[in-house]
A and B are shown apart, each in its own frame.
Chain A
Amino acid sequence: MSAGTPGDLLTERGGRPGDAEERPPAAGRSPLAALSAALRISRRDARRAKGRSALVMVMIGLPVLVITLLLTLLEIADISSREGLGSNIGAADARIKTTSFRGEVYQDVAGRLWAAPADPVESTRPWTASEVTALLGAGTRLVPANQGSVDVRGKEGYDHVSAHEVDLRDPLAAGLYRLVEGRLPASPQEVVISPEMRERGARLGATLAVTRQDRPVRVVGVIEHPHELARAEIVGFPGVLLLDRRDGNGTGWLADTPQPVTWADVRRLNAAGLVAQSRAVIADPPADTAPYTPANNANQIVAIGLAGVMIVLEVVLLAGPAFAVGLRRRRRELALIAAQGGSPGHLRLVVLADGLVLGGGAAALGLVLGVGLACLAVLLEAGRLVGRAGPLDIPWGTVAAVALLGVLSGLAAAVVPAVQAGRQDVAAVLGGRRGEARDRAGRPVLGAVLLLAGIVAAVFAVRVEAVWVFAAAVLSQLGLIALTPRLVRGAAGLAARLPLPFRLAARDASRHRGRTASAVAAVMTATAAFTAAGVAVSSDVADRRDAFQATIPAGTMGVAGWGLDDGRWAEVAEAVRERLPGVPLIEAAEPRDAEGAVVDLHVVSDPGAPFLSGGEVHVQGVSNTPPIGDARLLRLVQGRSDPVAAEAFAAGKAVVFDPALVRDGRLKLRVISAEDTGPWEITVPAVAAAAADPRHALVVLPASAVESAGLTTAPRRLYADLAGAGHRTDLEWEVRFERDLMTMGQGVDVYLERGFEGGDLALQLWLLLGAALVLVLGGTLAATGLAAADLRPDLATMASVGAPPGTRRLVVAGQAGFVAGLGVLVGALAGVVTGVGAAWNLTLQKYSNTAVLLQGGGLPPFPEGTPTVEIPWPFLAAVVIGLPVLAAAVAGAFARTGVALTRRMT
């Protein structure tokens, strides 16, 4: 009260209120004073309403935390060129790698990727150290350092592991590895191994036989790669592990140069056909390099953007009710501020400050916790669990963007209440009347327009790429959100015939439409997203299941020995026999051309056949080549005995299990050769027959049919009906079996037909259901919890007129059911439509048309044919019926029905 006496007041009367706006800024004025006052109120209010604040903070903070943690962990697991410098070039200035060319090559900055021109100059002789020294300048010291892989003799054959030839005692090699145990090799007879090798049975002090020459070396130490912890690796002296010393086979040097190796030096080396990883270049990359710029994938960007939009949208909708309820509680407070001279703008500022305080606090907390947890993970060397450990590396830019998004979510959630706050009737609130500016019925026109626009966009998006379908669906979703208040009102109108508790719940929900609509929209959005994903995934899997075609029945194992000589094949067959005692083995043939070179046979279907627009039939199997063999093989593949087919087979006819493949009694095959002779087509006589399971049988060829078409055959296949023989296998057995056989020589291949694996469709649906459960329940319970506070006077009134606690419980349950039920129903409907749209694209449009569209290639045609659409009914039922019932039950169970005598505050 600075104005003390009437005299003072008189002198002050020069300043009139009308021109007060133009009053020159006196000392002590600040444009931010109002904001700081608003922030103070929000901060204190956030502390007073602890429950509500915590709720909002969790809703905003949790996504920020999870995304921050994920991004940071990814960044830590990702070893950039700069981080990998030590493990790549040790203490050297550069690592020089040979290529198989002596002409110009092109490399990326890091020296990880390189390419040769179209007509490369082939290398004729290996590089010598002095030649390389000459390129790098006088005073350069080179240490040979070769990388590759080597066979190590194990108990049951050879194991193939990484190999590095370098004298680790040299100072230039410092930093390549950490010595864990023992010492470094001091002679060509000594090697060190990685911990993974020890896991596979190698012992410190023991002798290993390396290379196919079984060269004996002694293990003198265990070393660990700084980042690749799970790699099986041997390090020894040059010339010990790698036999192929030709250029381009991993040979190279670590170089210690008088001057740092510049990009110009690197380009000079490239011109000679060498590739260099230079410390100076990697540490400070030049701007104008890299023929390899990672192509930005538009689809990926759209997908990331969509995920961001959906997360922010969901957070905003979830937090919306909390802000709406907060606003209702603070109506009088805001009216008081208005009475003290707060303009509508000030009132909006106060409510927005809520969003800023809660969003900012949550984002900061999420960021700190996320980064903190990531740091903890590095400290505890959690990377060992996944075999990769990088240095702590926080992508600050991205993480800050995520946090900012969190703050924006908070602000966005406060926008609608803020606008309402600015519109409220101050005099009415102060007079104790409901001064709530009436909730608008959403923006039905805008909503309808958006919904329609989204549907139209989706029709176009089907031609391009599934991700665009989802993008269009987001547009429709926004429309639905704008329509939600209308939906709430309509649904509440339908509730008029329900019993009292539910009627009351629906009426109350409709009366507080601001709060209810936001919660319904949150539930709806989550449901739509997960239902759409569920339908899309199910349809995609169904499509793949329908198109699934294998050459041998499920449970059958095939072993192939590509191009092996007879002796080696006999060894392989013996090894298989040893490992599968008592299982009947059926020998089959591999096709070869007239010169005896191995070829592949692909079944060719004519256009119009039930496979993609004609062409080769892609099938699962040890190769695309159908089994070639005898009657036993036919019996195995057909899955039943069929005398008619057997007779034709014996007569040299191919037995085809898909009649569409037989044209004029012949089957067309394409011969693909590794030699330069190029593919050509042959036909063999064929009959159609029915297999026990047509999806696990395509064709069985008699050797005679292949031979009469000008090819030769040799027995190089074994088929074993493991399931039929009752041979139980587990993954560990399979892995060992496969490794054992594969180490017996190049060309040995093992394939176990498992039948169609829908992958983990069930698991995916469970995950989607789980996520939907969390969001639907979270959104519903948050809204009902907040509504319960508003509802308490009504419940007290009900209690005073004699309603039993059960009835009051039902009211709360009814509210939860109303919110969840309405949201889930509309959401599932939208989701199914979106899912069908996505399935349309996924199952018919095999290639992404985004690039075509972006490069101005015009709108691609609408995909033809009937899409495979599979609605996951149990999943849908669980979402549409299960979730609302569960939400209602939980809300009812936890409803506080104790009567609190509440004073109605006006």
Chain B
Amino acid sequence: MSFDPVVRLADVTRVHGDGPQAVHALRGVSMEVAAGELVAVMGPSGSGKSTLLNLAGGLDRPTSGAVTVEGTPLTSLTAKELAALRRRHAGYVFQDLNLIPSLTAAENVMLPRELDGVRARQARREALAALAEVGLDEPDRFPDELSGGQRQRVAIARALAGERRLLLADEPTGALDTPTGDEVLRLLRARCDAGAAVLLVTHESRYAAWADRVVFLRDGEIADSTDAAPETAR
């Protein structure tokens, strides 16, 4: 199989601030994630992992370089268009407090679809299906009634609700114990094998090892990268 990557970063640089206080979060990073591929980004704190993830989903804009999601260059998009892009093509999962506490699991999953103008009834139907796929059978519970692992499941279901297939995960296992963390990775891996492209930021190698490819980031640059494992090699 050979097709365009779902997300591509080309020579991306991100500088926070300017003048003498300027911080180079990323320096000329290029990478891509194809459909069905799980790429892990590792690196010490401050190495630019989260910045990379924010750029990949259009939450942040690069100082130079280009980010392309599903063939669309993000450079020229307005804030509104970037938001629409996230609703339709990219989903985020964060370490913790991913869910809106005042909405039930199902309603959390519905949210991006509803913001996109999908009627509540249809959005709920999709949400229930998505939750079933991640193995959550209590869709009407509130986040604080769910365990940490269950919450991450809901977040993953939400990130991929609708027609999205780019999942951007920022330390999704950070607040979990290792068995639950493994569960989350198993789920991500399964979504990946079903065709999603997953970009995973983590500082724990045990989770990074689930990836097809591990990219080591250091001082805003890619220091090293494991090749794609033989079985998923193109």
Do B165 and A3 touch (CB < 8 A)?
yes
- Decide yes or no whether B146 CB sits under 8 A from chain A: no
Q: Output the nearest chain A residue to B60 by Cβ-Cβ distance.
A: A427
A431 contact set on B, CB distance < 8 A = 50
> How distant is the Cα of A336 from the Cα of B154 in the complex, in angstroms?
14
What residues of A have a CB within 8 angstroms of the CB of B123 in the complex? 33
**B87 contacts which of A44, A341, A427 (Cβ < 8 Å)?**
A341
Flag whether B86 is at the interface (Cβ < 8 A): yes
Q: Is B31 an interface residue (CB 8 A)?
A: no
Given A3-B163, A346-B83, does the pair A33, B114 have CB atoms closer than 8 Å?
yes
Provide the residues of chain A in CB contact with B158, threshold 8 Å: 340
Contacts A4-B194, A16-B72, A37-B115; A342 near B83 (Cβ below 8 A): yes
Interface 0/1 of B128-165, CB less than 8 Å to A: 01100100000000000000000000000111111111
Give the distance in Å from the alpha carbon of A28 to the alpha carbon of B125 in the complex. Answer: 11
Q: What chain B residues lie within 8 Å of A36 (beta carbons)?
A: 114, 120
Q: List, in ascending order, chain A residues with CB within 8 A of B162's CB.
A: 2
A:33-47 near B, CB below 8 Å: 33-34, 36-37, 40-41, 44-45, 47
Contact B121 A1 (CB under 8 A): no
Q: Is A345 an interface residue when CB atoms closer than 8 A count as contact?
A: yes
Q: At the interface, yes or no: A6 with Cβ under 8 Å from chain B?
A: yes
Q: Is B94 an interface residue (CB 8 A)?
A: yes
A4 to B, closest residue via Cβ: B194
A13-B70 in contact (CB<8A): yes
Docked complex Cα distance between A45 and B102 (Å)? 6
Size of B's binding interface in residues, CB under 8 A: 69
**B120 proximity list for chain A (CB < 8 A):** 33, 36-37
Chain B 98-122: CB-based contact to A (< 8 A → 1; otherwise 0): 1111110001001111111111111
CB atoms of A336 and B130 under 8 A apart: no
Cβ of A344 within 8 Å of any chain B Cβ, yes or no, is yes
A339: Cβ under 8 A from any B Cβ: yes
Residues of A within 8 Å of B80, CB to CB, are 343-345
Contact A29 B111 (CB under 8 A): no
In chain A, residues 512-563, which have Cβ atoms closer than 8 Å to a Cβ of chain B?
Answer: none
Mark B38-58 against chain A: 1 for CB-CB distance below 8 A, else 0: 000000000000110010010
Q: Is the CB of B83 within 8 A of A338?
A: yes
Partner of A2, one of B77, B91, B103, B126: B126
CB <8 Å contact, B70 and A17:
yes
User: A293 on the interface (CB 8 Å rule)?
Assistant: no
Chain A residues near B1: list those with CB within 8 A.
6
A340 & B115 in contact (Cβ 8 Å cutoff): yes
- Partner of A333 from B101, B116, B117, B191 at Cβ < 8 Å: B101
B103 and A44 within 8 A (CB): yes
Q: State A16–B4 Cα separation when bound (angstroms).
A: 13
Bound CA span A426–B79, Å: 11
* Complex Cα–Cα for A431 and B59 (A): 11
Q: Which residue of A lies closest to B99 (CB)?
A: A336
Q: A18-B72, A37-B111, A345-B80 are in contact. Are A6 and B35 (CB under 8 A)?
A: yes
Check B177 for interface membership: any CB of A closer than 8 A. no
How far, in Å, is A132 (CB) from chain B's closest CB? Answer: 71
Residue with the highest number of chain A CB atoms closer than 10 Å, among B1, B115, B126: B115
Given B81, B97, B165, which contacts A21 in the complex, CB threshold below 8 Å? B81
With A and B bound together, what is the CA distance between A31 and B120 in angstroms?
Answer: 11
Report the separation of the CA atoms of residues A45 and B101 in the bound assembly, to the nearest whole angstrom: 8
CB proximity of A10 to chain B, nearest CB, Å = 7
| Residues from chain B with Cβ under 8 Å of A427 in the complex | 50-51, 54, 59-60
Q: Closest B-chain residue to A2, C-beta based?
A: B126
Residues in B with CB closer than 8 Å to A2 are 126, 129, 162-163
Question: A8–B130 Cα gap in the complex (Å)?
Answer: 16
A492 to B155, alpha carbons, bound, how many Å?
Answer: 43
Q: Is A128 an interface residue (CB 8 A)?
A: no
Interface residue A30 (Cβ < 8 Å from any Cβ of B): yes
How many A-B residue pairs have C-beta atoms within 8 angstroms? Tell me: 166
Residue B213, interface by CB 8 Å: no
B71 interface residue per 8 A CB criterion: yes
Chain B, Cβ-Cβ closest to A49: B102
**Cβ contact within 8 Å between B102 and A41:** yes
Q: Is the CB of B119 within 8 A of A340?
A: no
Contact pattern, B 64-104, Cβ under 8 Å of A = 1, otherwise 0: 00000111100001011111111111111010011111110
**CB atoms of A33 and B59 under 8 A apart:** no
A30 touches B88 (CB 8 A): no
Contact with A along B199-219 (1 / 0, CB 8 A): 000000000000000000000
- CB pair B195–A28 under 8 Å, yes or no, is no
Q: Which listed residue, A30, A40, A47, A340, touches B86 by the CB 8 Å rule?
A: A340
- Cβ of A595 within 8 Å of any chain B Cβ, yes or no, is no
Tell me how far the C-beta of B39 lies from the nearest C-beta in chain A, rounded to whole angstroms: 16
Bound-state CA distance A6–B36 (Å) is 7
- A3, A8, A25, A33, most chain B CB atoms within 10 A: A33
Q: Is A672 an interface residue (CB 8 A)?
A: no
Q: Is A368 an interface residue (CB 8 A)?
A: no
Minimum CB–CB distance from B170 to chain A (whole Å) comes to 8
- CB of A419, distance to nearest CB on chain B (Å): 14
Expressed in whole angstroms, the Cα–Cα distance for A47 and B101 within the complex equals 12
- A295 contacts chain B at the CB level, 8 A cutoff: no
Beta-carbon contacts under 8 Å, A807-847 to B: none
Decide if A9 is an interface residue (CB 8 Å cutoff): yes
**Across the interface, which residues of A come within 8 angstroms of B89, CB to CB?**
17
B227 to chain A, nearest CB (A): 22
A3:B195 contact, CB within 8 angstroms: yes
Please, which residue of chain B has its CB at the minimum distance from the CB of A27? B122
B191 shortest CB reach to chain A, Å: 8
Q: Is A20 an interface residue (CB 8 A)?
A: yes
Q: A16-B70, A17-B84, A18-B72 are in contact. Are A10 and B94 (CB under 8 A)?
A: no
**Residues A346 and B100 in contact, CB atoms below 8 Å apart:** no
Interface positions, chain A 408-445, Cβ under 8 Å from B, are 426-427, 430-431
Q: Considering the complex, give the chain B residue whose CB is closest to the CB of A343.
A: B83
- The verdict on A336 contacting B98 (CB below 8 Å), with A30-B117, A33-B120, A341-B112 known, is yes
Q: CB-CB < 8 A to A905: which residues of B?
A: 97
Q: How far is the CB of B142 from chain A (nearest CB, A)?
A: 9
A760 within 8 A of B: no
In the assembled complex, the CB of A302 is this many whole angstroms from the nearest CB of chain B, namely 42
Residue of B nearest to A431 (CB): B50
For residue B81, which residues in chain A have a CB less than 8 angstroms away from its CB? 17-18, 21
**Chain B residues within an 8 Å CB radius of A345:** 80
Q: How far is the CA of A48 from the CA of B142 in the complex (A)?
A: 12
- State which of B77, B94, B101, B164 has its C-beta within 8 Å of the C-beta of A430: B94
Which of A29, A44, A339 contacts B57 (CB under 8 A)? A339
Contact A1–B118 (Cβ < 8 Å)? no
Contact in complex: A337, B163 (CB < 8 Å): no
Report B-chain residues with C-beta under 8 Å of the C-beta of A37. 107, 110-111, 114-115, 120
Which residues of chain A come closer than 8 Å to B36, judged between CB atoms?
6
Give the docked Cα–Cα distance between A346 and B87 (Å).
12
Give the residues in chain A near B97, CB-CB below 8 Å: 332, 336, 905
**Besides the known contacts A29-B119, A340-B91, A342-B87, 15 further A-B residue pairs in the complex with CB atoms under 8 A apart:** A1-B133, A1-B160, A3-B195, A8-B195, A9-B195, A13-B71, A16-B71, A17-B84, A28-B119, A33-B113, A41-B103, A339-B92, A341-B87, A343-B80, A427-B60
Return 29 A-B CB contacts under 8 Å, by A number: A1-B133, A3-B164, A4-B194, A4-B195, A10-B3, A17-B85, A20-B88, A28-B118, A28-B121, A29-B119, A30-B119, A33-B113, A33-B117, A34-B117, A36-B120, A37-B114, A41-B100, A333-B100, A336-B94, A336-B97, A336-B100, A341-B84, A341-B86, A341-B112, A342-B87, A342-B112, A342-B115, A426-B59, A430-B50
Nearest first, the 3 A-B pairs at minimum CB distance are: A341-B87, A44-B102, A343-B83
Q: CB within 8 Å of A: which residues of B?
A: 1, 3, 35-36, 50-51, 54, 57, 59-60, 69-72, 77, 79-92, 94, 97-103, 107, 110-123, 126, 129-130, 133, 157-165, 170, 191, 194-195
Residues of A within 8 A of B (CB): 1-10, 12-13, 15-18, 20-21, 25, 28-31, 33-34, 36-37, 40-41, 44-45, 47-48, 332-333, 336-346, 426-427, 430-431, 905
